[in-house]
Amino acid sequence: MRVTRTGREALLLLALLAGFAVVFARPLVLLGLCLLGGWVLAAQLAFVRTLRTLTSDLSVSIVPAQETLMTDESVPVVLTATREETDVPLEIAVTPPAAADVEADAASLSLADAEHAARTVFSLTVPVAGRHTVSRPTVTVRGAFGLFSETLPIGEAVALTVEPRLPRDVQVGAGDVRMTTPYGSHTAERWGAGVDPADIREYQPGDPATRIDWLTTARLNEPFLREAEATTERQTAVFVDHRATTGVGRSGVTAFDYLREAALAVVESAAAAEDPLSYYAVGDDGVTDRVASATAHTQYPIIERKLHALTPTTGDGVAWPKTERGGAGALTRALRGDDSTYASTLRPYVTTATRHQHATADDPLYRAAKTFTTRHGGQHWHVVFTDDAHRAELQRTVNLLQHGDDHVLVFIAPRALYEPDALADLESAYAAYSEFVAFRESLAKTARVEAYEVTPGERLEALLTARRERRRPA
């Protein structure tokens, strides 16, 4: 219980009267002091009784329209107060989460002396994902004559779960055919004491008794062994393109958001298989982050955290210097001004090589792949996540990575399905998507290359359904 300004003034008046009565020996003033003091004490006791009644009489509730929402999603919240017996004026307020956006004074209401119920609705928006709490409502009550006041919590707090805007309909596959697993099982294609049961054969002298299949032996009355298909580690390198072009789409459901979900699934599969995994993030200005190959249990969470934190870059896409030192560039400069037959014969070939050198120098994804293949030998599985904005570069990158016995998995987000107004013109959208499919299929025809599309499933289904409806005869 707090003494208000009015209450402090009343107490000050009591003190002054007491001093006056003592100094000037005025009994009547002392009598007035006693009456005024009794009045203040009676007001205090009445206020205490009001508080005790109020805690059981007043009911305050906070009811959000939903307790789970997306970041930046506005949710209506209803604040209601009801009472039966008390008749003092009340001010009721709600303290929203610190990260929430609420209109000033919107999360509050008042109950006048004779009012027994009040209700208000305010909107709450939380831009930060996580669990947030709307604190218990606070009720401010003032006693008669305004001498005393008190603020106390009444009601229950409400927890809100705010989820990030993530793609909910990620579809990986080819057209409307979904891919069953983003990574695939892998075996050494040889028989041995592996972990995947494969076949049963008769026991041979010298075979370890620990591999005897006792159930089969008891059933056939002959000793049999259970063979297994030996598994092997898969050296995997993940290349995640997060250049500005992958940011196409609405916030939270961009092409990069979908590619990230596919990449996280691959990391999860690699972790389950305990495969050595390395990671390269490629932005407009080249490699922005990397994690060296390892199989430690801490490796996979590190890459997952980096993927969650990754966002599209905003560079101009020209990452590498155009001035060559040595190679075709140096030879081009050496041939300048040389009119000999030798120079005239050689110049066309050098010019072509220089053009190719310029093209690859401006391709961050290709350069990242080139750096990896130069530094790391042995057989690898290369997994590339990108969009279709740089098709020529992607083709060169795939050709580079599939050398030797290496395998390449390419996950491509077709920009035609991510533009905000992609389905406004269905004919144009389908034409652009068909062109993308032709490109993806051309990649898939390359030896040891699998190419998949990463699409918003609902948009793809809407596009294909609309196309089928239009082609259906009337």
CA Rg, the chain, in Å? 37
Tell me what pLDDT residue 304 has. 92
Asked whether the predicted pLDDT for residue 43 surpasses 80, the reply is no
pTM summary value: 0.56
Residue 16, Cβ density class (10 Å: 0-12 exposed, 13-18 middle, ≥19 buried)? exposed
Tell me what pLDDT residue 359 has. 47
Q: What architecture (CATH level 2) is domain 177-183+233-320+362-471?
A: 3-Layer(aba) Sandwich (3.40)
Give tens-digit pLDDT for 95-121.
888 888 887 677 888 888 878 899 999
Strand order, beta sheet including 90-93? 2-3, 148-153, 138-142, 90-93, 108-111
Give tens-digit pLDDT for 147-181.
767 888 888 999 998 877 777 788 888 766 666 55
pLDDT band at 287 (very low <50, low <70, confident <90, very high): very high
Q: Identify whether the C-beta of residue 224 lies closer than 8 Å to the C-beta of residue 213.
A: yes
Q: What is the mean pLDDT of residues 209-238?
A: 73
Name residue, tokens 């494969």.
Answer: 198
Tell me which residue of 422, 413, 415 sits closest to 466, measured CA to CA: 422
Same fold for the pair 1-164 and 177-183+233-320+362-471: no
Q: What architecture (CATH level 2) is domain 1-164?
A: Sandwich (2.60)
Widest CA span of the chain, in angstroms?
Answer: 132
- Write out the two tokens for 329: 């560039």
Domain ranges of the chain: 1-164, 177-183+233-320+362-471, 187-229
Distance between CA atoms of residues 199 and 96, nearest Å: 63
